[in-house]
Structure 1
Amino acid sequence: MKAEKIVLRKMRMTLNAPFQTSFGTQTVRDFILVEVHTKDLIGYGECVVSGQPFYSEETVGTAWHMMEDFLIPMIFEKGEFNHPDDVNELFAPIRRNNMAKSAFEAAYWDLYAKQSNMSLAKALGGTKDKIEVGISLGIEADIEDLYRNVEQYLEQGYRRMKIKIAPGKDVQVIRGLRERFGNIPMMADANSAYTLDDVALLKQLDEFNLMMIEQPLAHDDIIDHASLQKELNTPICLDESIHSYEDARKAIELGSTRIINIKVGRVGGLSESKRIHDLCQEKGIPVWCGGMLESGIGRAHNVAITTLPNFTLPGDTAGSSRYWKEDIIAPWVEVNADGTITVPDTPGIGYKPVPELIEKYTTAIKVVTRG
């Protein structure tokens, strides 16, 4: 696989509805789309950054800089790649900037699967033809709006409700949902909104039989989470704290987590996601695939990685229509009535990028050809 041309696109797509977390409210999605062109094929990857450094230190601006000034020159200097793992190894000297790196690696995985005439899921070693999916629901000012959303997505078959919480919108919200909907599969996502001073409050969540509470403490912590897990019956799931295989290994050894959310962009790509998956499988730690409000291209990569066997919990890879009035792929990612997504079996990511729609939502473009 030898790149002849690389195209970077700044993209902006408007969400169907505002999405509120403890970080703030999001109404548009800014991200970067990567195209790696060989002589015969195009591989697509999505850089799941956003416009502001709240979930991660990376933004559209910083990722663009890293891609243009460092990663693309490294790719062209390297020339030929035999396997996508080689991309991961090439970028290893660059510290962090995982979302920027992962977009290129994803594009090379797409190329590799197309070149091998197999689906991306099969190329990754996936074993499933369907994946279970849940839904992530933002904080609502009026709890009746949250009730309506939960009812709607239960009717659509989603197999798990992820409820965003924040101080003042936590125990009473979860209690209200349990009283209204009974023992549905449900988890709480705190997005680092609490500290160890809140142990007594977080312990109240134990009565609600939640699947997990996700990232209750600081975004870069694995020590305090170990202390908190000793106090809770509810499993802690780590998200923002896990950026690599080594982070996962240390968190598991410390007892900081009983579940890990693998986000492809956050950990630097599909190859590292596989390594974390394998470690967790060996240690008896279930994993699931988180979402970053991806377009259909990033969503397709999430579908593929979720076919690995230790992805045993429903992920956040909802259907395209959950977020977008118009996605940039055909067909759209669709959720079946039984709360599953059928994994495509055509070569590559399995969904066809639609050039005219990609152009429609492009706000800036950079084309770099082999010199």
Structure 2
Amino acid sequence: MPRVRELEVFRLVLPFGRRSETLLVKLTDQGGMTGWGEATSPPPKTWSKLEESLAALLIGVDWEHPDAVPSGESAVDMACWDLWTRMRGMPLAEAIGGTRTSLMATVRLTPDPSVESLVARVNQQVCAGYGHVTLDVRPGWDVEPVRAVRNAYPALTLAVDCGNAYTELGQLVALDSYGLEVIERPFAVTDASTHASLQDQVTASVAVEIGSTAELDDYLTLRAAKVLLLRPATFPSLTEVRRAHDRAVAAGWDIQCAGGQGAGLARAATVAVASLPGCTLPCDVTQPPRQNQIVTPIVGADGGVIAVPLTQAGLGHDVDEARLRRFAKDSFRT
């Protein structure tokens, strides 16, 4: 039974790419075992909430399972799962019900200065072993680049991520003629009815990213999509993630896991979740630059395939604490 004797929280500003902020939680139990968790792009009050209330929840308190720690914070929940599974010598993927030993990966490509340079980047990724490519599209950068990539690679499996940027169906229906597998996040997540209208008019599967089972239930009722874009870091707990997975699978939906942000721990949790039986679409852990990661081995794809660490306990990755402390903007220990 875990009993935490010390906790540390670190605030990092990652040095490469968009210099995003991430929070890391380290739990140490009475025997010296540690568990780690991460919250990527946390809400503004997360730091103060952890500083004011985390110690009372965890220090010196016995708990039998991570679900017994009602923190409501994904980083704390992840750290509890990591500690609990390490104490049992069990991989996190196995503990939550994962069955896959490896995952297909998609690579995400942002808009380019020109269509020609985008096609060249796609060529680089195909040569690197990727058989699935996701193109970021926006109003004004959609039909032309998708057409060019499809003409260059007629057999390549393509998806588009719209970033919730569209308000009308027209351009998205036009994109469907290029043999897309998935149209991700086309409209504002609150607009389930327009998602349903789009799904009625396209052969591609519409994918919606939600952060709670209540939101998912609304989409299931309206049959407003066919794919759940599951980002574990946006849920308060891995148990809630598994609940969303089970509901989507029961409804006949496919699931794609995504989680490329942060310093590596959230990516590792994404890989564990993507090993669940219903996560049938390629996993996305491609962003941001690998230099931002403070875990070993690095979480990522090799030749378009991601290995699930089923021979290591917990998240399956160790934290480089020296590198972490160089990145840390602030920290506290209790």
* 1:220 partnered with 2:221: no
TM-superposed deviation, 1:75: 3.7
Q: Are 2:266 and 1:298 aligned? A: yes
* Equivalent residue letter for 2:322: E
Q: Which residue in the other structure is 2:68 paired with?
A: 86
Which residue identity is paired with 1:238?
V
Q: Does 1:47 align with 2:39?
A: yes
Residue 224 of structure 2: aligned partner = 256
User: 1:334: how far off?
Assistant: 4.3
Alignment of 1:1-371 (within 5 A): 1-15=2-16, 18=17, 27-39=18-30, 40-49=32-41, 58-59=42-43, 61-76=44-59, 79-87=61-69, 90-91=70-71, 101-195=73-167, 198-239=168-209, 242-318=210-286, 323-325=289-291, 327-337=293-303, 339-344=304-309, 345-368=311-334
SS in structure 2 of the partner of residue 4 of structure 1: strand
Aligned partner letter, 1:264: P
Give the match's secondary structure for 1:325.
helix
- Taking structure 2 as the reference length, the TM-score comes to 0.93
Deviation string, structure 1 residues 70-116 (Cα, Å, up to 9, x no partner):
44434449x222111223xx246xxxxxxxx1111011110111011
Q: Do the aligned residues in 2 keep the contact of 1:330 with 1:353 (CA within 8 Å)? A: yes
Change in Cα spacing, 1:72 to 1:209, as seen in structure 2 (3 Å) is farther
User: C-alpha distance in 1, partners of 2:192/2:56?
Assistant: 35
**Offset at 1:171?**
1.0
How many Å apart are 1:163 and its aligned residue? 0.8
CA distance in 2: counterparts of 1:297 and 1:13, whole angstroms? 13
Q: Which amino acid aligns with 2:9?
A: L
Task: Specify the code of the residue in structure 1 equivalent to 2:306.
Answer: I
CA contact (8 A) 1:48 1:292 kept: no
How many residues align structurally?
331
Structure 2 letter corresponding to 1:4? R
Structure 2 gap ranges (5+): none
Post-superposition, which runs of at least 4 consecutive aligned residues in structure 1 deviate over 4 A? none
Structure 1 gaps of 5+ residues are 19-26, 50-57, 93-100
Q: How many angstroms apart in 2 are the aligned matches of 1:149 and 1:86?
A: 47
Specify the code of the residue in structure 1 equivalent to 2:29: T
Residues 76 and 256 (structure 1 numbering): CA distance in 2 closer, same or farther, change over 3 Å?
Answer: farther
Cα distance in 2, alignment partners of residues 122 and 8 from structure 1: 27
| Higher deviation after alignment, 135-144 or 211-220 | 135-144
1:30-87 Cα offsets, whole Å, 9 max, x none, are: 11111112122111111011xxxxxxxx53x32212322344434449x222111223
Is the contact between residue 33 and residue 46 of structure 1 (CA under 8 Å) also seen in structure 2? yes
Q: Is the 8 A contact 2:295 2:318 kept in 1?
A: yes
Scaled by the length of structure 1, the TM-score of the pair is 0.84
1: distance between equivalents of 2:56 and 2:189? Answer: 32
Cα distance in 2 for residues equivalent to 1:327 and 1:292:
10
Contact 1:188 1:214 in 2 (8 A): yes
